[in-house]
A and B are shown apart, each in its own frame.
Chain A
């Protein structure tokens, strides 16, 4: 079995996608489908006192109006981080309560979408209004120390050494607070559900990262056996964490379809996705960082305030990553969760690490300037082989190599350190900045089955979802290598509960969980083929061996686990739960790494910021699919540009909700915002974390881009941005 770098193959589903033939959840139109539209709350918090449906009911084509008076038999959703299935424990429309502005209060179903929308607009709702806290800074917001928060999996503050004392006595130090607003995932595919009943069996078509949770969660909420639910999600039109669990509309759509006895489709409008799904919580991070005279980090104090909702504790993992950026002599974190009257925040791509890197890597840059040291050199100096928190070795940590290779590709040696010292011919200020990023190398259990036929079909079923990251291509590449077949002959059944149990695809553990299982099941197939005793020549394909043995087909199954896990973990994914392990394993710790080098140009009079050039190098373990990995890495850098310079949910604390809840006002990067992005990979397999040597890529690619940009802005202008996004007015 060859073990070297993987060959570059084209994206296996690109053909279907460029022809418009890839079928996404709400592309499905079962016969007789009816359409749903939501009525949403127009108050910040309170209770419905009356709902006048008369006008809406008179609209031609209206078939059903679902509100809290009809849903008493439905069970509320349970929060995924309390061992449930949903992005939050709060279920709109199941009670007369309003927990936040914009939550659904009724669902109208009609023969046409147009009638449903009109009828929804004609429902008159009366409310009793209650006071609320819309933002981190609201007077009624409630901070709770995270270590005291009642949760299924508590997270303690981190204490290594006596950081307070070391910091107090240090010669060189920085003390700065960094803030970030709420941000919204905004995958291009809207959240939506098509629900169709056949007798007592429910089939749901949905773009999701977690078909397993949808299956078991719907069964629980509807009070039916899980085996009566099928969830089909072969393609997800972008997830970025928004679609990692059950959404509010799912149970309501399924309920309406059951009531009506006909299929129902609900596509949640973009504005409503801002108001009733997860988002990146607003944060306030204070970093106190000290160094000795040589530039070694002797102490770091890290205080985090992270937003959560009133109904759930969305736990912060900011400090876990912060403690692993460098080999600090001492470290102490203190995290508070700040409760607000909003949906529960969630796992938007690099949910904590993007914010953590902004704070830590900005502080490191500030310290480097305080110390008069080169920003690359100070990072190399403070790299570490050992995890300061658990005292375990890193299974692989090539961040210094990422820095060195990136610096060379970028031409870091051309940089003059003084702020405002580099000016382009047209007068633009040039800035060059660097930052590193890291992301936990997690893994989980996965089941796999494969069927090989004499006709050359290789059909593999794995517990993972394709959402653009290219997992179908990686699977085809791996299976092709292990079975000696062409990648095109491999069909993968993913995101489909009719196959093996579907685990949540998130946390950059999709490949690290499913690829070892793919390898194991290929190995099992090889053994089963060998057992046929055909004496087939070395390198024969399964089809050739089956022909020699006069067998039509052969199917085998396998299961794999992350280090330290056993078969108990399968019980979790078999029941729709999530069972990741890592980054702290029994004998080592695993992270993926990034080093980003950014050039900015700041126009002197307008202060317009452009990012013409980025060079990024990644250590993600073995690269399974070079082409799709490169695209994913480039996309992560684009996300970083958005995170640093564009994206912010605007909230008016007097009213709640999100003011800029559409694609014109919530600014994400467009084509004209993006310049040259060069990415590279270390492509060294991790020797310990799993048999495939895979860590993870989807999130680390974004981590550190934002501080590399703000550090470059400081270099260009001398202005230190401690709040994202950085806009023109911040540099005037």
Chain B
């Protein structure tokens, strides 16, 4: 299983990290190198100034099929952009350190911790959040399975659990209860709904895989 994890990391299609941007001294330089649109005024800043004026960046990405063109502080996490700028508050902040999984969303179909992902990193990518997973007509099979197996209590970690669970099935990691437990262990549920979550994923996997 650890081998699988390693491969997953190597296959990640981008390499810039939040840390790299924050540590670069000039956020503009890092973002420019990454091919992002930066406003013209950014070139006029002085990177060496201690309390330097921070530029804004224009970033465009799709969230649940809707293109979002947003102007933001380059340090903004994808999580904060979703919640505070775009207004999609289904994605939750539980730790802001990538340790709890409450903020899990899909970027081009892959599960990521949106708190550890800069919004500027996802330019031109497709984001799916819990709000985009099912609609008023029909729930996603995973959402229905979470209801059927009461795989939640307070509900705060639930959006992240469900996004991780859908990805877990797509990754092919829902083959057994033990495998599900292992691959869902990045998502903490403090209410302790784990047995229900495992049962829900077993059930939804059958529906999803037809």
**Residues in A lying within 8 Å of B, measured CB to CB:** 10-11, 13-24, 26-27, 29, 35, 55, 58-60, 112-115, 118, 122, 186-190, 235-238, 240, 267, 269-270, 467-470, 627-628, 630-632, 634-639, 662-664, 668-674, 676-677
In the assembled complex, the CB of B151 is this many whole angstroms from the nearest CB of chain A, namely 8
Do A20 and B100 touch (CB < 8 A)?
Answer: no
Secondary structure type dominating chain A contacts = loop
Do A187 and B154 touch (CB < 8 A)?
Answer: yes
Do A14 and B147 touch (CB < 8 A)?
Answer: yes
A441 to B144, CA, bound (A): 35
A133 to B131, CA, bound (A): 48
Interface string of B184-206 (1 = CB under 8 A from A): 11111111111111100000000
Do B191 and A635 touch (CB < 8 A)?
Answer: yes
5 extra interface residue pairs, beta carbon distance < 8 Å, beyond A632-B153, A635-B191, A638-B192: A20-B88, A29-B83, A55-B51, A188-B156, A671-B189
Q: Is B75 an interface residue (CB 8 A)?
A: yes
In the assembled complex, the CB of A644 is this many whole angstroms from the nearest CB of chain B, namely 14
Q: Is B14 an interface residue (CB 8 A)?
A: no
Report the count of interface residues on B (CB-CB < 8 A).
Answer: 63
Interface string of B71-108 (1 = CB under 8 A from A): 00101100010011001111111111101101000000
Do B139 and A631 touch (CB < 8 A)?
Answer: no
A119 to B201, CA, bound (A): 44
Residues of chain A lying within 8 A (CB to CB) of residue B169: none
Do A237 and B92 touch (CB < 8 A)?
Answer: yes
Contact A18:B147 (CB < 8 A) given known A190-B93, A238-B156: yes
- In the complex, which of the residues A270, A470, A637 contacts B153, with contact meaning CB atoms closer than 8 Å? A470
A22 to B102, CA, bound (A): 14
Secondary structure type dominating chain B contacts = loop
Do A240 and B97 touch (CB < 8 A)?
Answer: no
Q: Is B130 an interface residue (CB 8 A)?
A: yes
Do A468 and B51 touch (CB < 8 A)?
Answer: no
Q: Is B155 an interface residue (CB 8 A)?
A: yes
Residues of chain B lying within 8 A (CB to CB) of residue A16: 155
- Interface-centre pick from B50, B134, B193 (highest chain A CB count, 10 A): B193
Residues of chain A lying within 8 A (CB to CB) of residue B89: 20, 23-24, 27, 29
Do B95 and A662 touch (CB < 8 A)?
Answer: yes
A171 to B204, CA, bound (A): 60
Residues of chain A lying within 8 A (CB to CB) of residue B143: 18-19
- In the complex, which of the residues A22, A188, A676 contacts B188, with contact meaning CB atoms closer than 8 Å? A188
- In the complex, which of the residues B84, B162, B180 contacts A18, with contact meaning CB atoms closer than 8 Å? B162
Could you pull out 27 A-B pairs where Cβ atoms are within 8 angstroms?
Answer: A10-B150, A14-B147, A18-B130, A19-B90, A21-B90, A21-B131, A24-B89, A186-B190, A188-B92, A188-B94, A189-B156, A190-B94, A240-B190, A468-B152, A468-B156, A468-B191, A630-B150, A631-B153, A634-B193, A670-B188, A671-B181, A671-B182, A671-B189, A672-B182, A674-B194, A676-B195, A677-B195
In the assembled complex, the CB of B209 is this many whole angstroms from the nearest CB of chain A, namely 20
